[in-house]
Amino acid sequence: MGKSFENPWMRVAFYAAMVLFVLMTLFPLYWVFKMSLVTPEELFKTPPSLLPTNLDIAPAPYFFTAYETIFADPDFKAAIVNSIVVAGITTVICLTVGSVCAYALARINFVFRTPIQAFILAISFFPAVAIIAPLFLQFQAFGIIGTYWAMIIPDILFALPLTVFLLLAYFRELPAGLEEAAKVDGANIWQAFFRITIPLSAPGVVTTAILTFIFAWNEFLFANTFALDITTQPATVVIPQFATTYTTDYGAQAAASIVVTLPLVALVLIFQRRIVSGLTAGAVK
């Protein structure tokens, strides 16, 4: 790789490819943002313009009609709160259970440890749509259809393997001698875990929490199936509902998508160093 970069044409090709990749990644987000700013006439203009030309202005504090529409809708504001509740509870439970499971897999030698790791990994590859019908019947029997738990339980099921494997890689990188020293000083295994391992694993824990939160925040399939009550529907389910029988408010849908995406972008930008550190845990000895 180093010798290849001695050639200036290779450097130019590399950076050109990186710029192209970034543009291709950001362009859909830019286009949705543009849709949230322009008038309905420009939305349907053919051919479409790359830059916004006719802005759909609204009075302060929203400045654009699409954003005024979504924030004037009580269902959308309630949906944001529902998304926070579902994603937050999912993240807390996954971190609590997943950290203990990952610590046991990393530090304790027991029978069937390898098959258990393989089973946990297999769950993450299981198609979620295959269990929609059985889960619906079970949740209906327990009377939790239309509640937060109908979304939280499946989210935990599919987010927990990610939590376990991210933390497992980080726990394995930590020197076991630190915990042994704590035990020599009188700490039991739980005290060593909570006072030594978890604080030293902060980058991995933060990374896992953010990725788990993003997964639960963006989840649509289970939420659209089990959240039958508008009072518990998250934002991913409410966004498509900015439509009537005959028309669809694409500007409002685009504005709602931007509002739902911004918290995730802010989280990644704020914790980007910890995310990189957590994702690369165990990669270098």
Banded pLDDT at 205 (limits 50, 70, 90)? confident
With 70 as the cut, is the pLDDT of residue 170 above it? yes
For 73-279, CATH gives: 1.10.3720.10
With 70 as the cut, is the pLDDT of residue 91 above it? yes
Written as one letter, the residue type at 270 is I
Query: In what helix (H) or strand (E) does residue 112 lie, and over which residues does it extend?
Result: none
List CB contacts of 245: < 8 A, sequence separation 6 or more. none
**Rounded-to-integer distance, Cα 137 and Cα 48, Å:** 46
Tell me what percent of the residues of the chain surpass a pLDDT of 70: 93
pLDDT at 285: 46
pLDDT at 175: 79
81 closest CA partner among 260, 204, 248, 227 = 260
Banded pLDDT at 279 (limits 50, 70, 90)? low
With 90 as the cut, is the pLDDT of residue 146 above it? no
pLDDT at 83: 93
Over residues 205-226, mean pLDDT:
89
**Rounded-to-integer distance, Cα 224 and Cα 237, Å:** 6
Burial class (CB in 10 A: 0-12, 13-18, 19+), 58: middle
**Rounded-to-integer distance, Cα 14 and Cα 5, Å:** 9
Q: What is the mean pLDDT of the chain?
A: 84
Over residues 153-163, mean pLDDT:
90
With 70 as the cut, is the pLDDT of residue 109 above it? yes
Inter-residue contact 234 to 260 (CB < 8 Å): no
With 80 as the cut, is the pLDDT of residue 7 above it? no
284 or 215, which is more confident: 215
The string of DSSP letters for 185-249 reads: TT--HHHHIIIIIHHHTHHHHHHHHHHHHHHHHH--HHHHHH--STTT--HHHHGGGSB-SS-B-
Banded pLDDT at 6 (limits 50, 70, 90)? low
Tell me what percent of the residues of the chain surpass a pLDDT of 90: 19
168 closest CA partner among 233, 103, 118 = 103
**Greatest mean pLDDT among 6-10, 49-53, 143-147:** 143-147
Over residues 112-125, mean pLDDT:
83
Q: Where are the alpha helices (DSSP H) in the chain?
A: 8-35, 40-43, 65-71, 74-107, 113-124, 132-142, 149-173, 176-184, 189-192, 198-200, 202-218, 221-226, 235-238, 250-270, 272-279
pLDDT at 21: 92
pLDDT at 148: 92
Banded pLDDT at 280 (limits 50, 70, 90)? low
Domain boundary assignment for the chain? 4-66, 73-279
Over residues 21-50, mean pLDDT:
87
With 80 as the cut, is the pLDDT of residue 59 above it? no
42 or 91, which is more confident: 91
186 or 20, which is more confident: 20
**Rounded-to-integer distance, Cα 145 and Cα 229, Å:** 9
